Amino acid sequence: MFEIDRPFPITGLPFKPELTGRQKVDEKLIMTIATLMGWDGEARRLLNCGVGGALQTIAPIAKGIVNVTGSGANDDITFGDEVTGEVMIMANAANGGDIWINIGTSAAVDTGWPLDAGEIVIVSVNNMRDLQARIIADGDKLIIIKTV
């Protein structure tokens, strides 16, 4: 039997009665909580399912839209330290050249994922600083929707 010094709330999982003070928990409770939680690399998240038991997956909440215009040929684009989840990246439909996208390292021609005019890619990243892009043609545009 283990003892919890400080109770920790799990958003979305109400305990009855509410945990207060020092609680004794057995291995079964620890295993039950572990199976209800997911780990995204930075925090524990409660997993939700529908009435039929299927794991619910939903699109995350949009946090903002960023429009970037290339200021010269082979313009390297980086982003600041901002926590995010899923990112939708689109090359503007009027672009004349490719846009290259990479995660965790510099994007370059034939290094990363190419986007032709109007193409979209959706990636999951924990932080915007991990996303890097290269806009090949001067004046081409990159459009990004960030999520929470």
pLDDT over 90 (residue 120):
yes
Token pair recorded at residue 21: 């003070």
* Residues 32 and 88 occupy one common structural domain: no
Overall domain count for the chain? 2
* Residues 68 and 141 occupy one common structural domain: yes
- Amino acid 121: pLDDT: 96
Domain that holds residue 13: 2-46
User: Residue 36: which of 22, 55, 17 has the closest Cα?
Assistant: 55
* Residues 42 and 114 occupy one common structural domain: no
pTM for the full predicted model: 0.65
pLDDT over 90 (residue 131):
yes
* Residues 42 and 68 occupy one common structural domain: no
Cα separation, 135 vs 148, whole angstroms:
25
* Residues 71 and 143 occupy one common structural domain: yes
Residue with the bigger pLDDT between 37 and 23: it is 37
Q: Give residue 60's pLDDT band: very low, low, confident or very high (50, 70, 90).
A: confident
We report the CATH number of the domain holding residue 115 as: 2.60.120.10
- Rounded average pLDDT over 2-13: 66
Q: Give residue 19's pLDDT band: very low, low, confident or very high (50, 70, 90).
A: low
- Rounded average pLDDT over 131-146: 96
User: Residue 73: which of 98, 92, 91 has the closest Cα?
Assistant: 98
Task: Tally Cβ neighbours within 10 Å of residue 91.
Answer: 25
* Residues 118 and 83 occupy one common structural domain: yes
pLDDT over 70 (residue 32):
yes
- Amino acid 148: pLDDT: 80
Instruction: Select the highest-mean-pLDDT range: 32-41, 55-64, 90-99.
Output: 90-99
CA distances from 42 to 38, 39, 65, 85, 111 (A): 10, 7, 24, 11, 27
